[in-house]
Chains A and B, each alone.
Chain A
Amino acid sequence: MSAKGKRTPFYELHAKVGAKMVNFAGFAMPIYYRSIVAEHRRVRSSVGMFDLSHMGEIEVRGPEALQFVQKVTTNDASKLALYQVQYSAMCYPNGGIVDDLLVYRLRDCFLFVVNASNIEKDFQWLQENLEEDVEVKNRSDQTALLAIQGPRARDVLAKLTKANLNGLGYYWATEGEVDGVRMLFSRTGYTGEDGFELYFPPHYASQLWTSVVEAGREYGIEPIGLGARDSLRLEMGYCLYGNDIDRTTTPLEAGLGWITKLEAKDFIGKEALLDQKEKGIKRKLVGIELENNSFPRKGYPILLDGKQQGTITSGIFSPSLNVGIAMGYLPTEASALGTKVQVEVRGKMVEGRVVKRPFYTYGSHR
């Protein structure tokens, strides 16, 4: 129970319940409290709570903020209504991905929620591309983030706020009081379940943790570590930066064409992506399901007819489906659903096939 790294405002609470800590993206974070599998199942069946304070929050404000957001992100932020949230990406001029992120349209600014591992890089990237009348502020250290996820998440949060949760749609945010603390919260998440993400000043961390535990007690709420966060997102086929996407992959290759608005607007990377689209996308991120009791891991080779054609970017034995599931890039001509592949698992060939993402289709979000 010790790990080097920056501490989130929940650190002492993790220590108190004996979390297994690891260094993740420079932060000391809980990988699990009890068991990755048990925590995973708790989120799928009822509700769990996550310390996500390692994530980065960057504010973009100023008269030209919208134009700037349009320039640096791939999705169309002009479509965002006040308090609406959008999944998006930032690209380099060559189309490689700087980061994937959430964009919130708030009253006086846009809020970017970015990956912990990319906070400094993203902030620097935004500053390098800054325009007049736009200001970016890294608010990561002044922001605690607590997620409540699972089919009972709404029941838990409803006990702590008067806000109308039924009126809060998926990928919408609001400002209101939770447990007497005024904050921004949204109906968002990375699990495939219904859920909320709460943003508030770090000194309320202890109070809110305790209140959420209390409110969730009747539903069996428990804290969930990064291990289950990873298995939950992978069952949904969601990309993880550093695994499935990075500066060497483009949104089009990663199946993120739906957040890449090539027709609607100009943005950094658009020329390269248009060019890639025109010439044909040579490889695609696919979902792979393996046969037997096999455990695909990042880095394992993917073969077609005995020849390596790709590499696993994320893999796990799915706790919900009880099969090995993975993602990886394959040549476009070999990426069709149903394509038979082999994955080399520790020197042995295991049969698999390309399947549709999400792998898990019974999630509670809609």
Chain B
Amino acid sequence: MVPDDLRYTKKHEWIKVNGDQGTVGITDYAQGELGDIVFVELPTKGKKVEQMKPFATIEAVKAVSELYAPVSGEVLEVNSQLTDKPELINSDPYGEGWIIKLRIEDPSELENLLSPADYEKLIEEEEGH
């Protein structure tokens, strides 16, 4: 089961919308696929990110992967706890392991994201092959 108050990307990021702001992280499925996360390269505050363009990099023991912005906007805050404790993404991907907060530039972009039900289907498909 994935949290039902979030929207999802096909690349396994989530966004929690709160007015014109959004909190972004990666899903529990994604952290499980990546395994031990040892380093996160975060964007700087104020940086503009574009929908489905890379905004951060995660180094896990076995692989490196880019994170894609669910929507375009300006980075308002980054989770500085991750500098010392990147493993928070493994242990609490929807909570303490959040990655950035951003100001949502264009709310209509949210329409391009997956609903919780659609995201669950996506995981099932990926697990199936």
> How far is A295 from B61 in the complex, measured between Cα atoms in Å?
8
> How far is A2 from B129 in the complex, measured between Cα atoms in Å?
7
A227 contacts the other chain (Cβ, under 8 Å)?
A: yes
Is A32 in contact with B35, judged by CB distance below 8 angstroms?
Answer: yes
Is A36 in contact with B36, judged by CB distance below 8 angstroms?
Answer: yes
Residue among B57, B59, B128 making CB contact with A317, cutoff 8 Å:
B59
> How far is A295 from B58 in the complex, measured between Cα atoms in Å?
11
B residues 12-35 in Cβ contact with A at 8 Å? 32-33, 35
Residue among A231, A293, A346 making CB contact with B61, cutoff 8 Å:
A231
Band of interface residues on A = 10 to 19
Is A227 in contact with B61, judged by CB distance below 8 angstroms?
Answer: yes
Is B61 in contact with A36, judged by CB distance below 8 angstroms?
Answer: yes
How distant is A357 from chain B, measured CB to nearest CB, in Å?
A: 20
Which of A1, A20, A31, A295: most chain B Cβ within 10 A?
A295
Closest to A295 in B: B59
How distant is A216 from chain B, measured CB to nearest CB, in Å?
A: 23
Residue among B32, B57, B61, B64 making CB contact with A20, cutoff 8 Å:
B32
Per DSSP, chain B at the interface is mixed
User: A31-B35, A293-B39, A346-B64 in contact; A2/B59 too (CB < 8 A)?
Assistant: no
Residue among B38, B57, B127 making CB contact with A2, cutoff 8 Å:
B127
Residue among A4, A32, A295 making CB contact with B38, cutoff 8 Å:
A295
Residues in chain B near residue A346, CB distance under 8 A: 57, 64
Closest to B32 in A: A20
Is A317 in contact with B61, judged by CB distance below 8 angstroms?
Answer: yes
Is B62 in contact with A227, judged by CB distance below 8 angstroms?
Answer: yes
> How far is A31 from B60 in the complex, measured between Cα atoms in Å?
13
User: A2-B128, A4-B129, A346-B57 in contact; A295/B35 too (CB < 8 A)?
Assistant: no
> How far is A293 from B39 in the complex, measured between Cα atoms in Å?
8
Is A31 in contact with B39, judged by CB distance below 8 angstroms?
Answer: no
Is B64 in contact with A35, judged by CB distance below 8 angstroms?
Answer: no
How distant is B97 from chain A, measured CB to nearest CB, in Å?
A: 15
Is A36 in contact with B35, judged by CB distance below 8 angstroms?
Answer: yes
Residue among A2, A35, A317 making CB contact with B35, cutoff 8 Å:
A35
Is B59 in contact with A20, judged by CB distance below 8 angstroms?
Answer: no
A109 contacts the other chain (Cβ, under 8 Å)?
A: no
> How far is A36 from B64 in the complex, measured between Cα atoms in Å?
15
Residues in chain B near residue A54, CB distance under 8 A: none
Residues in chain A near residue B33, CB distance under 8 A: 20
Which of B57, B59, B62: most chain A Cβ within 10 A?
B62
Closest to A39 in B: B36
> How far is A103 from B58 in the complex, measured between Cα atoms in Å?
41
1/0 contact string of B30-48 vs chain A (CB within 8 Å): 0011011011000000000
Residues in chain A near residue B38, CB distance under 8 A: 37, 295, 317
The 3 nearest A-B residue pairs measured at CB? A36-B61, A295-B59, A37-B36
Q: Show 18 A/B contacts (Cβ-Cβ < 8 Å), sorted by A.
A: A2-B128, A20-B32, A20-B33, A20-B35, A31-B35, A32-B35, A35-B90, A36-B35, A36-B36, A37-B38, A37-B61, A293-B39, A295-B59, A295-B64, A297-B63, A316-B61, A317-B38, A319-B61
Apart from A31-B62, A346-B64, what 13 extra A-B contacts exist at CB < 8 Å?
A: A1-B127, A20-B32, A20-B33, A31-B35, A32-B35, A35-B35, A35-B36, A36-B35, A36-B61, A231-B61, A293-B39, A316-B61, A317-B61
